[in-house]
Amino acid sequence: MQRKLKIVTPWFTAAAAAGLMVSLASAQPPAAAVTPQVLINAAGNGDEWLTYGHDYAETHFSPLNQINNKNVKRLSLAWSVPTEAPQGTVEATPLMHNGVLYGILPWDVMFAVDARTGQTKWRWDPDVPRAHIQGLCCGPVNRGVALYNGRVYAGLLDGRVVALDQETGKLLWSTQDTVPGGDTILTSAVRVVKGKVIVGSSGAEQAVRGYFSAYDAETGKRTWRFYTVPGDPSKPSEHPELEAAAKTWTGEWWKWGGGGTVWDAMAYDPAADLLYIGTGNGGPWNQNIRSPKGGDNLYLASILAVKPDTGRMVWYFQENPGETWDFTATQPFILADLKIDGRDRKVLMHAPKNGYFYVLDRITGEFLSGKPFVRRMTWSKGLDKNGRPIEAAGARYTTNSIKIWPGAAGAHNWQPMSYSPLTKLVYLPGNEASTTYVPTPADQFQFTPGRPSTGVAFGGAGPIPETDIAATQPEVTGRFLVAWDPVQQKERWRHLFEPGAPGGGTLATAGGLVFMGNSAYDAETGEKLWEEPQLGDRPVNWISYMLDGKQYFAILARSSPNNRLFTFTLDGGATMPPVPPPAAAPARGRGAAGPAN
């Protein structure tokens, strides 16, 4: 079926649109292309937000300081527009280039709007089929698009990778990354590295086989693919890294896929020419089913460093050998240069679901340090000298149920953390919660295509593993924001939020600010300096940019179908639209899916 371009005007009247489009066409010069060098230099560009984490290091840091901890109280709405998002969860970070904001909504509807006014430039609906995908984990989400050489790129729920013309929204090419109609979907924000579109797979809850791929940004032709878990041992391995991995699996794992999907974390070091990828949980979750005699199950729950030209692996670090709790390593990375023990180190920082904050040498993969950033952890007593977790007795469910902290939702999930090179602190949005895992006996496990097949049920009140930290820490629940010192491996300050408080990722700025949810905090002290309660629920990830000498902050917030794009500046003067009443509870269908991809 031919996919169609839709240029519509849902956010303003057609008459106003016609006049505006003529005005924009005559007033704006041709867009300067986003080139490889522009992306390499993105960290110093406060005027724009060109890639998911602002820069290849994924710092989510803006070097702008016009709005700062002295004047942020004057921050108010400049404009907001309804996105008319299809029903689903909004998790995307918008991008800004040449005065235009680009984004993606549930069901992969992509849009471009004027960054000064919110007026629509174009909108494109890929008409993703609903029937099969509706049953897959974890909703029709997408975390972001990529910009490169006059094009906008995205991976779609139906497995296509697409390139649109940045100016018009016209579809330029479409490539099928997945097996059509299969359970592998694409939900991650794509990145462009050295002229290649890097795309990760999603769907480990459906027991699929994980991988990530690179496509030529100009043609859409696949240049390489890296499978994160081995396949059927009766067939040749697709690449040599899998031969070593296969020795760490037992049983007939390939019948269930194995998992290891790549649905979020990516970063790139241009100097080292290394692309960093985080891999996901096992599929099924329950290791007793997929690998019944144990084993580390490489490369689940791992950080991989590969060469972007070839996809060949340089090093790996596995955070959870034999992963069995949905402890993914797909949470966002940050690259930084730190002085540790008197030595300058190029590091990768990671705070995954399992509750440890890791610092690795990003050139060699050497484990440097790791400490819990949660206040309650019961599955592990610590990390050994190589960074391997020291698991608590009883933490691995076999035939017994077990209750552990943190749970499957993670101590930290997909919401980005940020890093300020000025304070040298990481601002981490986290969650204190537990999960009780009830294993499905292997002889009763059934794989159901199109539905989560984890090999685990939830609920009850299973025993808690006996760990030293469990005995000394209180039972706490709820979201938090922590300022973390990655050198000292300790918190500088922490905010605990009431149940129901808005979450989202963090943004740090050179103005001494940290944004999260509907608030801004002093980056040094944690003092709340600004709040906008009318943002409503589900604020996602803040960005900042500069236009006409003014600094702006933008964010997607509120649940579909009431989702809006909000933009703030000093003395903005616009009136916040009222928060709509809560939507009616959806009809009861399948149970809650695992909180992963």
Stretch 513-534: mean pLDDT, rounded? 97
Look at residues 341, 286, 248 and name the one whose alpha carbon lies nearest to residue 455: 286
3 state SS of 287: helix
Give the integer Cα–Cα distance in Å for 514 and 497. 16
Stretch 515-542: mean pLDDT, rounded? 96
Q: pLDDT at position 83, please?
A: 97
Q: pLDDT at position 468, please?
A: 53
Q: Are 60 and 506 in contact (CB under 8 A)?
A: yes
- Position 40 in a domain: no
- Position 94 in a domain: yes
Q: Is the pLDDT of residue 121 over 80?
A: yes
Q: pLDDT at position 1, please?
A: 35
Q: Is the pLDDT of residue 590 over 50?
A: no
* Structure token digits, residue 382: 């610590």
- Position 157 in a domain: yes
Stretch 230-247: mean pLDDT, rounded? 97
What does the pLDDT look like over 428-476, one tens digit per residue? 999 999 999 999 999 999 888 878 889 999 987 788 886 655 556 667 7
What's the pLDDT band for 351 if we cut at 50, 70, 90?
very high
Q: pLDDT at position 24, please?
A: 33
Q: pLDDT at position 471, please?
A: 55
CA distances, 192 to each of 56, 75, 195, 198 (Å):
10, 33, 6, 6
CA distances, 477 to each of 209, 350, 483, 500 (Å):
33, 22, 18, 12
Q: Are 52 and 146 in contact (CB under 8 A)?
A: yes
Strand partners, 161: 155, 175
b/e sequence 311-323, b meaning 16+ C-beta within 10 Å = bebbbbbbbbbbb
**Which active-site residues does the annotation give?**
326
Lowest mean pLDDT among 4-8, 139-143, 404-408, 447-451: 4-8
- Position 255 in a domain: yes
Q: pLDDT at position 18, please?
A: 30
DSSP 106: G
* Structure token digits, residue 410: 């993670």
The average confidence (pLDDT) of the chain is: 90
Q: Is the pLDDT of residue 29 over 60?
A: no
Range of the domain at 460: 14-30+49-114+137-557
- Position 597 in a domain: no
**Helix and strand numbers, DSSP H then E, in the chain:** 5, 40
What does the pLDDT look like over 201-216, one tens digit per residue? 998 888 899 999 999 9
Q: Is the pLDDT of residue 14 over 90?
A: no
- Position 488 in a domain: yes
Give the integer Cα–Cα distance in Å for 540 and 559. 10
What's the pLDDT band for 5 if we cut at 50, 70, 90?
very low
Stretch 135-160: mean pLDDT, rounded? 93
Strand partners, 283: 258
- Number of domains making up the chain: 1
Give the integer Cα–Cα distance in Å for 320 and 300. 8
- The CATH number assigned to the domain holding 58 equals 2.140.10.10
* Structure token digits, residue 369: 């340090």
Q: Is the pLDDT of residue 64 over 80?
A: yes
Q: pLDDT at position 55, please?
A: 98
Q: pLDDT at position 587, please?
A: 44
How much of the chain, in percent, has pLDDT values that exceed 70?
A: 91
* Alpha-carbon 204 to chain mean position: 15
What's the pLDDT band for 73 if we cut at 50, 70, 90?
very high
What does the pLDDT look like over 395-434, one tens digit per residue? 999 888 999 999 999 999 999 999 999 999 999 999 999 9
- Position 547 in a domain: yes
pTM score of the predicted model = 0.92
What's the pLDDT band for 181 if we cut at 50, 70, 90?
confident
Stretch 77-105: mean pLDDT, rounded? 96
Torsion of CA 133, 588, 404, 207, to 10 degrees: -20
What's the pLDDT band for 10 if we cut at 50, 70, 90?
very low
What does the pLDDT look like over 365-384, one tens digit per residue? 999 999 999 999 999 999 99
Q: pLDDT at position 6, please?
A: 35
Q: Is the pLDDT of residue 594 over 50?
A: no
Q: pLDDT at position 276, please?
A: 98
Q: pLDDT at position 298, please?
A: 98
Give the integer Cα–Cα distance in Å for 572 and 564. 17
- Position 340 in a domain: yes
Q: Is the pLDDT of residue 3 over 60?
A: no
Lowest mean pLDDT among 15-24, 168-177, 269-278: 15-24
Torsion of CA 133, 505, 387, 406, to 10 degrees: -70
Report which secondary-structure segment, H or E, holds 479: strand 478-485
* Structure token digits, residue 64: 């702008």
Q: pLDDT at position 473, please?
A: 65
